[in-house]
Amino acid sequence: MKLKILTDSTSDLPIELVHKYDIQVMPLVVNIEDEEYLDGVTIQPAEVAAAIRAGKVPSTTQITQARFQETFQPLAEKNQPCLYVAFSSKMSGTCQTGAMVLSQLAEQYPEWQAAVIDSRCGSLGQGMVVLEAARQVARGKPLHAVIEAVKQYASHMEHLFTVDDLHYLARGGRVSQVSAVFGSLLSIKPVLHLADGQLLPIDKVRGTAKTYQRIVSLMQERGLALKEQRIGISHANDPEAAVHLEELIRERLGCTEFLVNEIGGVIGAHIGVGGVAAFFQGREPNNPEIPVTTRGVPAT
């Protein structure tokens, strides 16, 4: 039976690719004023952005144990192998919950082959890892081989991004409230990245144009054969920013293939409106350890 690829809504994958590769996407929850919405199902990114612009403060909730049970149980019952590529465990408990439910079901269905990969990635960086898994499945690779390919790909996934409003990162403890206030007053924009699954600042730059230039310079320093890659770009309800960054990458780095999409509701709730990110394969491992939970998967 064909290997099933699953992920969660923080992967920010374009819907046409979800359908093309038959990927099952499990939604996290966006909470706005005591109302719960399923990310990408009952609420769309533009609606979350509109709520933020209206002064509302969205929060998010991870996928519940019950929802994982509902998702994994039918696969286990028909003995369909599956691989769940999860949002970084350093930023959400979703991965751990998925691994726990998988392990519990594996006791009931010992012949079932299943795995959970902690991608140590997020947004379209995670999405591109999911697509690598889907491509491996399309080539007919068995689960153990897909896992090894995905671990290698995820370990080299780079995330570089900036945001327009530091206050959302301050609310999440990524920068101080004082830095957020002064940064806003002085038009200081942060350049951040993910390292070992954690969100960390790299630099502070004054002005939008210089910030984009800094992102491209870091890509040039870190990237591996960038012209041969498909570069991911995501934006926080700011398509003009995505267009500008893509043009700059084309001009300075010679890249020709891009995957562009809007940041989903869950990620958007934590970074606010405005901002842009670039995702690509780096020369050195950015995530030295990619944890995997497997059940029933042969070693070779």
Token pair of 176 as six digits: 């101080």
Q: Do 77 and 212 share a domain, yes or no?
A: no
Q: Please indicate, yes or no, whether residues 126 and 176 belong to a single structural domain of this protein.
A: no
Burial 117-132 (b: 16+ CB within 10 A, else e): bbbbbbbbbbbbbbbb
Any domain includes 300: no
User: Does a structural domain hold residue 50?
Assistant: no
Q: How much is the pLDDT for 186? A: 47
**Contact, 97 vs 62, CB < 8 A?**
yes
Residues spanned by the domain of 104 = 4-28+63-156+289-295
Q: Are strands 82-86 and 4-8 parallel, antiparallel or unpaired?
A: parallel
| 207 in the same domain as 115 | no
Is 18 in the same domain as 135? yes
Residue 7 pairs in a beta bridge with 25, 85
Tell me: do 163 and 110 sit in the same domain.
no
Count CB-CB contacts under 10 A for residue 184: 14
Residues 6+ apart with CB under 8 A from 285: 155, 156
| pTM score | 0.94
Reported residue count of the chain is 300
Q: Which of 299, 293, 290 lies closest to 132, judged by CA? A: 290
The per-residue pLDDT for 189 is: 83
Q: Is position 49 within any domain?
A: no
Are 24 and 103 within one domain?
yes
Place of tokens 């007053």: 185
Q: Is 84:102 a contact under the CB 8 Å cutoff?
A: yes
Tell me: do 240 and 196 sit in the same domain. yes
Task: Please give the helix or strand (H or E) that residue 11 lies within, else none.
Answer: none
pLDDT given for residue 170 in this prediction? 54
Cα separation, 54 vs 43, whole angstroms: 16
What total number of domains does the chain contain? 2
The ranges of the chain with pLDDT < 50 are 174-186
Q: Could you tell me if 136 and 23 lie in one domain?
A: yes
Q: What is the pLDDT of residue 236?
A: 95
Q: Is residue 52 part of a domain?
A: no
d(CA 74, CA 281): 35
Same domain, 167 and 253: yes
Q: Where are the alpha helices (DSSP H) in 109-142?
A: 123-138
Q: For residue 210, how many other CB atoms are within 10 A of its CB?
A: 13
Task: Give the gyration radius of the chain's Cα atoms.
Answer: 19
Q: Are residues 192 and 276 located together in one domain of the fold? A: yes
Domain with residue 205: its CATH number is 3.30.1180.10
Let me know whether 135 and 242 are in one domain. no
Which long-range contacts (C-beta less than 8 Å, at least 24 apart) are formed by 106-113?
106/76, 106/295, 106/296, 108/76, 109/76, 109/77, 109/79, 110/296, 111/79, 111/296, 112/75, 112/76, 112/79, 112/81, 112/295, 112/296, 113/81, 113/82, 113/143, 113/295, 113/296, 113/297, 113/298
**Paired tokens of 223:** 């990237």
Model pLDDT, residue 33: 94
User: From CA 263, how far away is CA 127, in angstroms rounded?
Assistant: 11
Judge if 126 and 183 occupy the same domain. Answer: no
CATH number of the domain that residue 77 is part of: 3.40.50.10440
In this structure, what token pair is assigned to residue 141? 């690779």
Round to whole Å and give the CA distance between 111 and 129: 27
Answer yes or no: are the C-beta atoms of 65 and 59 closer than 8 Å.
Answer: no
Task: Tell me the per-residue pLDDT of 65-111, one tens digit each, with 9 for 90 and over.
Answer: 999 999 999 999 999 999 999 999 999 999 999 999 999 999 999 99
